Amino acid sequence: MPKVKVAGFAVSLDGFGAGPDQSLDNPLGVRGPEMFQWFFPTRTFRAMQGKDDGETGIDDDFGRRAMDGFGAFILGRNMFGPVRGPWPDDQWKGWWGDTPPYHAPTFVLTHHARAPIEMRGGTTFHFVTDGIESALKQARAAAGTKDVKIGGGVSTVRQYIQAGHVDEIHLAMSPVALGQGEALFTGLDLHAMGYRTVEHKAGERATHVVLAR
């Protein structure tokens, strides 16, 4: 049966999933990229940049698992871009250039309607204005027999976990303390929700923990 997953989600030692003050210059928040130093050197990430080099190993294995095999993705609007309020025009099409890394239908949560954007490589961004349940229903239909990934950001992941929709959570615990930012675990009692650790492995630059219900 297809599952809803959070995968490759970087978290600091003090529980933050993004740094403060996200902006065009700091899409992951101030100091946010420090949490992704496990991923940036991997062959999986380098392939997203059109490169054929990069490190293999445990971090790369988990990075590849975090992107492969999904039939649809769900993103919060902040994950899609820095634009706030009504869309001023159709110029902004995401952080990733003409070929986003999703290669599948991708549903963006927003309060402001916008026509779908078809990108290269199989990604089409669909903008959902009627909430997380509607986005998940559409994503499941688009994914068919494949899994759905809740891609972020922090608020979106937390909402789907809180609503009881997430079957599996892969956290990449990075050895950095941010001190401030967006806290992932606020309001979540993962134990009470039935999550248990089903896999944990130390990678080259992060510790990977997989929780499932």
Would you give the DSSP letter of residue 122? Answer: G
Residue 58 sits in which domain range? 4-20+28-81+100-212
149 neighbors 74 (Cβ within 8 angstroms): yes
Domain of 120: which CATH number? 3.40.430.10
- Considering the domain boundaries, does residue 165 fall inside one? yes
pTM score: 0.95
pLDDT score of 206: 98
Residue 36 is predicted with a pLDDT of 96
Name the domain count of the chain.
1
Dihedral angle over CA of 133, 78, 7, 97, nearest 10: 120
pLDDT of residue 24: 86
Q: Which residues of the chain have pLDDT under 70?
A: none
Whether 89 maps to a domain, the answer reads: no
In a domain, 87, yes or no: no
Examine residue 37 and state whether it is found in any structural domain, yes or no.
yes
pLDDT at residue number 50: 86
Residue 145 domain-assigned? yes
Residue 136 in domain: yes
E-strand spans in the chain? 4-11, 16-18, 70-75, 105-109, 117-118, 124-128, 147-152, 168-173, 182-183, 196-202, 207-212
In a domain, residue 92? The reply is no
In a domain, 86, yes or no: no
pLDDT at 198: 98
